[in-house]
Amino acid sequence: MSTLIETIDYQKTLELVAAGLKSRGVIRLFFDLDDTIIPNREIFVFYEKKCLDLLASQLPEVPRQQLNEQFQQLNNKSHEVIGVSPKKWLRVLSSIAEIYPTISPAALTQSLAILNEIYSTPSTFLPGAQETLSTFHDAQAPISIVTHANASWTWRKYSWLDLDRYLPPEAMVIVDENGHKTDIEWAQGIKRFSVLPTEAIIAGDSPRTDINPALRAGVPPQNVFWIKRPEYWSVYKEDVPKEVTRLTSISELINVLITTS
Ligand SMILES: [Mg+2]
């Protein structure tokens, strides 16, 4: 149970957050989901390693680093062709099977099953993310999530995390998993809520699919926040203009708004 002081402090925080948004002319927040609100990279790394362990056990003569690099090259290549669709794993494993025909069909089937576990692993919140969503919700600041992923997986995440506590289903913007999250998708996502890019704050972890497209869509650099995670997929790397604020966690956005209100 909260003490009176804590309740008063929280009310003050909500007022300052609302004032911070108002001073920027912001009426809606747009957040990326994977590796901005929830840890995702770690799940991919875990299951990719598990899959590679299995493949390596079938290929004792192949240096592990060579196998890792081939797998990542095929993974990156498939991203350019079919985006983030889970179907990419079939492409990657088919190519691996062509390179290494001695891998048994059973091992390939098991590898695919391992990689598909990525999509059935229940999501958790990154540190501070739940409190951040809760604070914005309580400050009556509308939140949208703009995510580039498989739709059924996205709705599982929404359900696992009970995101309906913070935003209704219609505030979820799911970008086609077979396409790419570019400035067009960000601009459409923002427009869907009758918000101008200058009235939006966006936060995301990916320079290529969040930060730079949002800037090109017209979101002012002072309203774009780059959540820099310790590790991210190489296909998302790009230079980010220095005007964009770097944060280590989305929860720091609350402090930024409070101190600039
Ligand atoms: Mg992301």
Confidence of residue 261 (pLDDT cuts 50, 70, 90): low
- In the reported structure, the alpha carbon of residue 254 is separated from the centroid of ligand 1 by a whole-number distance in angstroms of 19
Mean confidence (pLDDT) of the chain: 94
Burial status of residue 19 (CB atoms within 10 A of its CB: 0-12, 13-18, 19 or more) = middle
Q: What is the DSSP string of 118-150?
A: GGGSPP-PPTTHHHHHHHHHHTT--EEEEEES-
CA–CA dist 238, 191 (Å, integer): 25
Same domain, 165 and 77: no
- Looking at the 3D structure of the chain, how many domains does it have? 2
| Contact call for residues 177 and 3 (beta carbons, < 8 A) | no
What pLDDT is stored for residue 1 in this prediction?
63
- Do 137 and 235 fall into the same domain? yes
pLDDT at residue 215 is higher than 70: yes
Span from the CA of 126 to the centroid of ligand 1 (angstroms) = 12
Together in a domain, 129 and 183:
yes
> Any residues with CB less than 8 A from the CB of 193 and at least 6 apart, and which?
28, 142, 144, 171
Task: Encode pLDDT of 75-117 as tens digits.
Answer: 999 888 887 888 999 999 999 999 999 999 999 999 999 999 9
Q: In the listed set 120, 135, 162, which residue is the last one of a domain according to the structure?
A: 120
Ligand 1 ion: nearby residues, β-carbon < 5 Å: 32, 34-35, 205-206
Q: Are residues 109 and 150 in the same domain?
A: no
| CA 175 / ligand 1 centre spacing (Å) | 12
Report whether pLDDT(53) > 70.
Answer: yes
Going from the Cα of 245 to the center of ligand 1, the distance in angstroms, rounded, reads 16
Q: Which of 59, 86, 120 is a domain's end point?
A: 120
Does 93 share its domain with 138?
no
Domain of residue 219, residue span: 4-39+123-259
* Lowest mean pLDDT segment, chosen from 13-17, 66-70, 109-113, 237-241: 237-241
150 with 230, same domain: the answer is yes
Rounded Cα distance, 24 and 102, in Å: 60
